[in-house]
């Protein structure tokens, strides 16, 4: 596969799935799937094997077009955006099949050369920003939570009739147990997918928000982390009097309010001392479990905003923000650990992932060179050692010297036939720019960090062409 096709495929899949085409039909008109009946069958076939609906725009027709016709894969992808956002989510088997087809199209192989969780990260984290289809569907579904805050939608009346007029406020005021125990069982397939996706976002943003010391706005009611007798808590009278979050039980100094102070603050006439002590104990256990120190956090003045909803309410378009939030992963590619081990004898202590991959994508806009360096960093360059390992070749001897095993390090640095090329190239740069550039093992494999931009700017075109020719000569396979 050419490097241009590979990088273009990753970026194209991401662009086509994220930037959906604008359509006026039924995206906002949710009446069709707010009925009691399930619409999940639209993704599948009936018992006779025929599509459940006729026409070229049905989910099954589009799905078959993607799965069976490889040449039209990229053209068919945008059609799925509207279906993902306006129909119940396809089953896990369908999502897995779509991911499989996309990655087979990118790699032109049934085997992934780089882990999918890595490829879906941004460039500086070692990825190619390939879309994670599962997270993308979840982020699209979560956009309906924001739509619930807009009161001028005709379908909202039906939703409020089914779930109650105060349901929107309750979603914002209550914790995760309210969604899992109350909302999901009473709604249809579509809204189940919406709330399940939002529940996933809540669960996967907890640690990040706690680290920001924003736990004062953590909801107390229906919170699976604040439990009494192994059950989440909800006291209706307290809630009606304005008690909503952990900060309501703390003073400005970070201490728990006494029962009398709490009664006076929220104008609650009668409170059972055992009931109050139980919820204080539950909150205290929650703070201790999360290693949070309530005494060092200052009380914040302002409206109550649960941290779960910051991405929803503070952004006009929340889909991309939510996707980035749940897709973010601090995983370190396995190849980086191997390069650390292999280059440590040459004076390299620890590789900074952001620096080496920044060089890969910032030093040049040539996709062929980017793809070459990307394969070097991920150790998937087709040298003989790698080809023998995956059983494509039986001989792993160097194709230049014929004496040593052809690894990436040997091919680019250690080979006796290659070393003169680097010396000559260093001399060529000096004679044309009067700048001395030494090529050691680390610079050749990973690049120089931080980037020495002035050399790149002053180096004439002939030197740049020489470097490009050198790279292609070493990568003739």
In angstroms, rounded to a whole number, what is the distance separating the alpha carbons of residues 234 and 242? 13
Spatial neighbors of 387 by CB under 8 A, at least 6 apart, are 393, 396
Q: Which of 195, 193, 140, 139 is nearest to 327 (CA)?
A: 139
The helix/strand/coil state of 420 is helix
Helices and strands, counts by H and E, the chain? 25, 2
pTM score of the predicted model: 0.79
Structure letter (DSSP) for residue 242: T
In contact, 97 and 68? CB cutoff 8 Å? no
Q: Which residue has the tokens 């900060």?
A: 247
> What is the pLDDT at residue 116?
93
> What is the pLDDT at residue 52?
42
Strand partners, 45: 51
The helix/strand/coil state of 446 is helix
Q: Which residue has the tokens 């799905």?
A: 63
Q: What is the dihedral of CA 208, 213, 216, 218, to 10 degrees?
A: 10
> What is the pLDDT at residue 205?
72
The helix/strand/coil state of 101 is helix
> What is the pLDDT at residue 12?
45
* Residue 368: half-sphere exposure toward Cβ, Cα within 13 Å: 11
Length of the chain, in residues: 477
198-208 residue pLDDT tens: 999 988 875 55
Q: Which two tokens stand for residue 15?
A: 């662009």
Q: Which of 17, 5, 10 is nearest to 129 (CA)?
A: 10
Strand partners, 256: 250
In angstroms, rounded to a whole number, what is the distance separating the alpha carbons of residues 68 and 366? 32
What is the full per-residue pLDDT of the chain (477 aa) written as tens digits?
344 334 444 544 444 444 433 333 333 333 333 333 333 434 554 444 443 443 445 566 666 666 665 555 556 667 778 888 888 888 888 889 888 888 988 888 888 999 999 999 999 999 999 999 999 999 999 999 988 888 777 888 888 888 888 898 899 899 999 999 888 888 888 999 999 999 999 888 755 555 455 778 889 999 999 999 999 999 999 999 999 988 899 888 888 999 999 999 999 988 999 999 999 999 999 888 877 766 655 555 556 666 677 778 888 888 999 999 899 888 899 999 999 999 998 888 888 888 899 888 888 888 888 999 999 999 999 999 999 988 889 999 998 898 899 999 999 989 998 888 888 888 988 898 888 888 888 888 988 765 554 444 444 443 444 444 445 444 444
> What is the pLDDT at residue 303?
62
In angstroms, rounded to a whole number, what is the distance separating the alpha carbons of residues 7 and 106? 8
The neighbour count for residue 346, using CB atoms within 10 Å, is: 12
In contact, 308 and 201? CB cutoff 8 Å? yes
Q: Which two tokens stand for residue 116?
A: 């999918």
In angstroms, rounded to a whole number, what is the distance separating the alpha carbons of residues 148 and 153? 9
Q: Which two tokens stand for residue 249?
A: 């039980």
Measure CA 335 to chain center. 20
The helix/strand/coil state of 250 is strand
The neighbour count for residue 191, using CB atoms within 10 Å, is: 21
In contact, 141 and 83? CB cutoff 8 Å? no
In contact, 47 and 63? CB cutoff 8 Å? no
> What is the pLDDT at residue 267?
92
In angstroms, rounded to a whole number, what is the distance separating the alpha carbons of residues 401 and 174? 69
> What is the pLDDT at residue 53?
41
């Amino acid at each position: 596969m050419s490097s241009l096709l590979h990088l273009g495929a990753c970026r194209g899949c991401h662009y086509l799935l994220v930037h959906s085409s604008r359509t006026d039909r039924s995206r906002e008109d949710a009446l069709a799937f707010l009925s009691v009946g399930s619409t999940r069958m639209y993704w599948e076939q009936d018992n006779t094997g025929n599509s459940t609906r006729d026409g070229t725009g049905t989910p099954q027709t589009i799905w078959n077009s993607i799965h069976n016709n490889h040449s039209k894969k990229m053209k068919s992808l945008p059609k799925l955006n509207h279906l993902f956002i306006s129909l119940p989510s396809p089953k896990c088997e369908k999502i897995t099949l779509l991911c499989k087809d996309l990655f087979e199209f990118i790699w032109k192989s049934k085997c992934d050369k780089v882990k999918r969780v890595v490829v879906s990260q941004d460039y500086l984290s070692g990825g190619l920003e390939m879309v994670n289809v599962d997270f993308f569907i979840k982020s699209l579904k979560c956009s309906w939570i924001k739509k619930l805050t807009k009161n001028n939608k005709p379908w909202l009346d039906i939703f409020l009739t089914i779930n109650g007029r105060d349901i929107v406020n309750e979603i914002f005021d209550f914790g995760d147990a309210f969604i899992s125990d109350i909302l999901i069982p009473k709604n249809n397939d579509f809204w189940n997918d919406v709330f399940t996706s939002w529940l996933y976002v809540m669960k996967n943003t907890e640690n990040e928000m706690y680290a920001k010391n924003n736990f004062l706005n953590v909801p107390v009611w229906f919170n699976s982390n604040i439990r009494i007798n192994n059950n989440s808590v909800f006291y209706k009278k307290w809630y009606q009097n304005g008690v909503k979050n952990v900060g309501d039980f703390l003073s400005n100094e970070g201490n728990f309010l006494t029962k009398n102070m709490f009664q006076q603050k929220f104008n609650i006439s009668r409170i059972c001392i055992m009931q109050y002590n139980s919820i204080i104990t539950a909150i205290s256990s929650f703070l201790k479990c999360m290693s949070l120190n309530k005494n060092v956090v200052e009380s914040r003045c302002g409206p109550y905003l649960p941290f779960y909803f910051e991405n929803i309410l503070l952004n006009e378009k929340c889909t991309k923000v939510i996707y980035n939030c749940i897709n973010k992963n601090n995983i370190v590619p396995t190849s980086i650990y191997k390069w650390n081990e292999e280059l440590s004898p040459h004076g390299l202590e620890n590789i900074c992932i952001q620096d080496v991959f920044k060089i890969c994508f910032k030093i040049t806009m040539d996709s062929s060179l980017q793809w070459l360096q990307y394969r070097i960093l991920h150790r998937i360059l087709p040298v003989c050692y790698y080809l023998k390992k995956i059983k494509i070749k039986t001989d792993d001897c160097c194709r230049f010297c014929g004496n040593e095993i052809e690894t990436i390090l040997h091919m680019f640095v250690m080979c006796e036939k290659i070393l003169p090329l680097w010396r000559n190239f260093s001399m060529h740069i000096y004679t044309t720019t009067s700048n001395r550039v030494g090529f050691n093992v680390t610079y050749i494999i990973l690049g120089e960090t931080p980037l020495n931009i002035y050399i790149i700017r002053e180096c004439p075109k002939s030197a740049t062409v020489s470097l490009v020719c050198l790279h292609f000569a070493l990568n003739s396979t």
